[in-house]
Structure 1
């Protein structure tokens, strides 16, 4: 929603369809959103294609009437290509005219916020919402803001006879890439694509330049361990050590592996990793701490080029954070979307916001409305 607000904060009129409930193998999670402007443009996605056309038409109806609507979409046994989720799951969307005041507040302020919207209750309150910041609120104060300031999970909640959809939003998670090499440039690019705030750090000023890393949010010239020691991290932070140089790696990993991070990985051969682990044991790291190190970093994709290696690393980060096996889906029998919670030390680590970066003009949305854009 925050990315959506950034795109639409200057738009006079638009409606937003948000996923407020999912069941089974639904392709998108809670909070996924599709916005439709008065001139017919669409931003975001609620289903990856299956019901986009129907939701787009519903949003146009909401724009015309000004009245919020709530609707469930599920699999159709009679016609697998009817309006429904051919993957077998179901999702419920709430569509409402969006408040420009809330959109402007979300877009302008990067600090943590909890967005609250009324999706059930008295008709005059449906669609009302407020953005609750640490020190203020924007929009309609529908309930006591103190009740929601510390909410940490997206979902439906009930307060004072109202059914609310509550979404906590934080700044993007951080990806710290150490080692200003060509692999780091490719990883910075894919890290940015995944929604991270990417920092590349290296002690060598000739290599750590913005020209070499145009996709990074920051390029820092400093000794890696010194930079990490002075940098705030949290359970969403990803650390990728690509220097494969002992004088850089060992003090850096000694700090990183003792922090509650989402992911710590290091580049290098198996022999390099074995030597690195021996040095880390010598300086006092425990086997439990060392077990958190993903090295050699990346999944076994047969990667060779920097770009392929970056895909391999990103795939491991996603698999670890989402509880995936890293195996091919072909031939498997387990669930694709509905997975168990990730390990405690990466819990909540990949709440990077919804995929709202892409947009479509009216002509492209017309293709959605006819059902021609639906994944197989």
Structure 2
């Protein structure tokens, strides 16, 4: 539901009931991930998409029915078959498991609080029970970025604390997920399947080296949703004017900045200076941090010399294996803009376990679970 947070926040402010259809499981080449939602209000206005167009008509009608009947949540499955693929099936060959429920903002004020946080670009999570005892299906609970639990229909249940703990953990990890809970008489007696919708803060892209390639990469990173920082020790080059797409431009020694800034498992570190004075202390530190990606620009000759110097600094082989250098995928890139696409393509491939090969040369599912 957080993919349409802005509109849902407005509907909650207006106390406008709506039906929410949410993808709770996908298999095959389903186009959109778990947690993606469509919402339909009482006037038939719709927002969002769960299939890229394949089943939107059928989902819209199911939402209208659930909203009108004011009954319990309904489960629907959409898959591929020769008979109905172009009617209500997925022409791409995937399968979607969808839960549709009626939301009345007046009775679930915590949803409005969570949606307000997300609309304001602040982190929040909403846990939604999608399977379990009939009385709990559709129950929700919200966790805000400061780990506080908003008033929720689920909070009063014996299982509420277990759900809240898991939602808090998913929020810290920054990942929407379908989780199973229950079976423990002391903490969560009911067996539940809970979809935890997460809107985390933007992942960070740290670009070291205030060069032309950094300007193009900062633009590409911003387009992909990263919070981009450009850092360089030379104040004449590290200026906001040269990097208008960066969220932050910092003048500091790269390793000193990295040592004191906040990173997590989604952070991409891109070293574009190809100057050993900056690169070696920076990479020595970066390769020890729990970040998603560490890449360094330079020729193969520069890379070999860089590895030699890092080994002299005591960097182990398993740490060196994390280094993506020369940086980027082999796209034949030459310009800064092409190189930025090459780098971001490699970052995407690493995040989603992609091969980097043309899809025409691969088999099996196009979409993979996140690494």
Please give the range of the TM-score, normalised by the shorter of the 2 chains.
Answer: 0.7 to 0.9
Residue 120 of structure 1 and its aligned partner are, at CA, apart by 3.8
Match of 1:347 in 2: none
Q: Distance in 2 between matches of 1:217 and 1:279?
A: 32
Whole-angstrom CA distance in 2 between matches of 1:42 and 1:268: 49
**Counterparts of 2:363 and 2:193, CA distance in 1:** 36
Aligned residue number for residue 245 of structure 2: 215
Question: How far apart in 2 are the matches of 1:26 and 1:115?
Answer: 23
Is 1:59 the counterpart of 2:59? The answer is no
Alignment match, 2:173 = none
Quote how far apart the aligned CAs of 1:7 are.
4.4
Residues 19-58 of structure 1 mapped to structure 2, 5 A cutoff: 19-37=23-41, 42-58=46-62
Whether contact under 8 Å (1:204, 1:221) holds in the other structure is yes
Shift in alpha-carbon separation, 1:80–1:60, aligned structure 2, 3 A: same
Deviation at 1:314, TM superposition (A): 1.1
CA distance in 1 between counterparts of 2:149 and 2:259 reads 33
Structure 2 equivalent of residue 165 of structure 1: 194
Quote how far apart the aligned CAs of 1:184 are. Answer: 1.8
- Residues 121 and 322 of structure 1: CA distance in aligned 2, closer, same or farther (over 3 Å): closer
Would the alpha carbon gap of residues 302 and 138 (structure 1) be closer, same or farther in structure 2, given more than 3 Å must change? farther
Instruction: State the 1:162 CA deviation.
Output: 6.4
Match of 1:374 in 2: none
CA–CA distance in 1 between the matches of 2:19 and 2:113? Answer: 15
Deviations 1:221-243 (A, max 9, x none): 22211110001212221111112
> TM-score under structure 2 normalisation?
0.82
Decide which of 68, 82, 95 is 1:90's aligned counterpart: 95
Q: What residue number does 2:86 align with?
A: 81
Q: How does 1:166-245 map to 2 (within 5 A)?
A: 166-167=195-196, 169=198, 170-245=200-275
Structure 2 residue 153 is matched with structure 1 residue 140 = yes
Q: Distance between the aligned counterparts of 2:302 and 2:104, measured in 1?
A: 55
Q: Could you tell me how far 1:260 is from its partner in structure 2?
A: 1.7
How many Å separate the matches in 2 of 1:327 and 1:74? 28
SS across alignment from 2:359: coil
For the 8 Å contact 2:233–2:254, the answer to whether it is kept is yes
Which 10-residue stretch deviates more, 129-138 or 295-304? 129-138
Going from structure 1 to structure 2, the CA distance change for 1:171 and 1:222 (only over 3 Å counts) comes to same
**Greater mean deviation of Cα atoms: 327-336 or 98-107:** 98-107
Corresponding pairs, count: 341
TM-score scaled by length of structure 1: 0.81
Q: Which residue of 1 aligns with 2:113?
A: 104
Distance verdict in 2 for CA 1:184–1:36, change over 3 Å: farther
Per mean C-alpha deviation after superposition, the further-off stretch among 82-91 and 58-67 is 58-67
Contact 2:113-2:150 at 8 Å conserved across structures: no
Alpha-carbon distance between aligned partners in 2 of 1:181 and 1:8, rounded to the nearest angstrom: 42
